[in-house]
Every structure is written in C-alpha cells, then in structure tokens.
Structure 1
Amino acid sequence: MKINSTEIKNLEPMKTIAVSHIGEYSGICGAFEKLAAWAEANKLWAACPKMAGVYHDDPKHTPVDKLRSQACLENISGIEPGEGMQHYTINGGKYFVMQVEVTMPEYGEAWQKAYAAFNEKGYDYGTGDHYELYVSCVGDTQDADAPWIVELCIPVK
C-alpha cells in the first residue's frame, strides 16, 4: 500500500446508480460485478463514469451481518436503474481525502490509515458519506491483484 496524498477537499454531490450490499464490507465485490455487467450491457462505459463504494456503518459498532454498503456508478447518462438497483446521491461537502495505491487485500489497512491520519489531525467527523472513489487501475483491470489508485473520503465537520 502506498499513500499518494492527503488533503481537505470540497467535493460535489455525485448522483449514482447503486447496488446495495449487507454484510462484511469485503463482500461488496458481488455488488460491483452486478453493477459493472449492467453498465456493460447498457453501453455506459464509453462516458467514463466514476465508480465508488459507500460504507454506511462503523464496523467497530455494528455486527458484521448488519453492515450496509453500496456499489455505485456515476449516473452521467440519466439512465434509470436496473432491477435490484436504485438511485443514490453521494453527499458532497468538506472531506478529508487520502489518495492511496492499493491491491484488494490492502483496502482494510488503507481505511485504518485514513482514519488514523484523520484523527491525528484532530478533525471532527461530518455527517456525510464515507466512501472510496476509484480513480484508475495501475495495470490490467481484469487482474484481481492489480493495484488501484483510490481516494478514501471521510466527511469533515
């Protein structure tokens, strides 16, 4: 895992199409696969929509089987969601953003480092979404071990 940068940013809200996931956060892969297949079938990739993972619960205080998350695809085209999907707007506002380069097994560690840096700087948590925004893949997107450049976004009060 590599930390590229940390900064405070004002982020715009992002309208998305989302697939919900309940359970361990690492299990959200199936929701992303469903969303990606739907985007492919609807020829949405040509517009280069952003993808994000939104995490609604603190795993330290919520049982694993109750953790709520969403795989999101930016809704650039205004298309209606497919079956089992819904519209979801990721909150905008003031965010602490840590850009990292990670492989799949390193996401948990990356989030731990982001929260540690957030707390070390003395920031107060805002009420917005906690999410990861996928910037780009460093390598073959079909390779499960390829590192991704990801922005971990934590709302600031």
Structure 2
Amino acid sequence: MTAHEVVIRDIAAMTVACVDHTGPYMQIGKAFDLLIGGLASRGLLSPGTRMVGIYYDDPGIVPEAELRSKAGAMLPRDIEIVPPLSLTQIRGGEYAVLRHAGPYSDLHATYEWLYGTWLVQSGREAADAPAFEEYLNNPKETAPADLLTEICLPLA
C-alpha cells in the first residue's frame, strides 16, 4: 500500500449549495451534473469554485441502493436556492485530512486505510458527523490517474 500522510487541520464551518443523491457513491456524478448545471445557468460558477461530496453512510453496512450523499459547491456569497438545490452545513472543527491521488474508483481503499488503520492507531475518535471530500481538480479536464481528492474525516 502507498504511504499515506494524514494532517490534522481545523476547518471552518461552511454552508454549501447541494444536490442530494441516494444510491451507489460512484454514481454521485449525476448529482454533480445537476448541481453544476443549476449553478452555471445562474452564472454562479467560476474557475475557483470548490466542489465537495458529503458522504453520510458506511457502504460496508448500508445497502448500496440506500447510501446517502450530497454533491456540493462552496460559493463565495449567499444565493437564493431553488430546487433541486438545497443548502447544507458542514460542521467546523478538527479534521483528519488525507490527500488521495488517483481515480475516484480507488477511493474505497484509501477510506479503508483511513478508518481501519490510521483512526484505530491514532488514539482519536471520529465525530458524529459525515466525512466530506474536496475535489482539487476537475475530472472532466484531468486524467483519472492525476485526480486529487482530500478526504476530510471529522474528529471528536
């Protein structure tokens, strides 16, 4: 396994514009398409728009068809929200942040290491809040091997 470096970081609370997704996490791209289309049609996307995915359920426990997640965008200002968009609050506080390099399809192994090895050995506990991912480059313009994703695990 590739060496992983976890950084403990304080992350400020943030409100994100989101589109809900239920089903396999690897199909959240459909929710991102709706989100991006909705924001683009209102002139709310810029090259610096930060995109996040919020993941609520453990795919090892919850049936794939029932997994809950949200495709989100951090916006520089408040906007009027119209369906299918909604606003979601990401809690502020201490997070274990792990950068994943490579295709999204390999994220599950990184999560397994973060929760199953690092968290167990760290002496820390996960907070009762969802993990989120921040996507540092655009999958429509970046080869899968070059994708960068920060996994943010909230700590108690």
TM-score interval for Structure 1 and Structure 2 normalised by the shorter chain: 0.7 to 0.9
Secondary structure of the corresponding residue to residue 36 of structure 1? helix
Structure 2 equivalent of residue 93 of structure 1: 93
TM-score normalised according to structure 2 size: 0.87
Deviations 1:18-57 (A, max 9, x none): 0000111111110011111222222222272211100011
1:58 paired to 2:26: no
How far apart, CA to CA, are the structure 2 residues paired with 1:45 and 1:24?
26
- Specify the alignment match of 1:72 in structure 2: 72
Structure 1 residue 108: deviation in Å? 1.6
Which residue number corresponds to residue 134 of structure 1? 135
State TM-score, norm by structure 1. Answer: 0.86
Matched, 1:104 2:97: no
Uncovered stretches (5+) of structure 2, i.e. residues with no partner: none
1:149 matched to 2:134? The reply is: no
> SS state of the match for residue 136, structure 2?
strand
Q: Give how far 1:104 is off.
A: 2.5
Query: How many angstroms apart in 2 are the aligned matches of 1:42 and 1:119?
Result: 45
Compared with structure 1, are the counterparts of its residues 2 and 37 closer, same or farther at alpha carbon in structure 2 (3 Å cutoff)? farther
| Unaligned residue ranges in structure 1 (runs of 5+) | none
Distance 1:149 1:134 in 2: 6
Contact 2:99 2:149 in 1 (8 A): yes
Aligned equivalents of 1:30, 1:83: Cα separation in 2 = 15
Aligned identity (percent) is: 25
The structure in which a higher percent of residues are strand is 1
Change (3 A) 1:82 1:107: farther
Amino acid across the alignment from 2:123: G
1:56/1:129 contact within 8 Å kept:
yes
What CA distance in whole angstroms lies between the structure 1 residues aligned with 2:79 and 2:145? Answer: 30
Larger mean Cα displacement after TM superposition, 46-55 or 19-28: 46-55
Query: What RMSD over aligned residues (CA atoms) do the two structures have, in Å?
Result: 2.2
Give, in angstroms, the shift of residue 81 of structure 1.
2.3
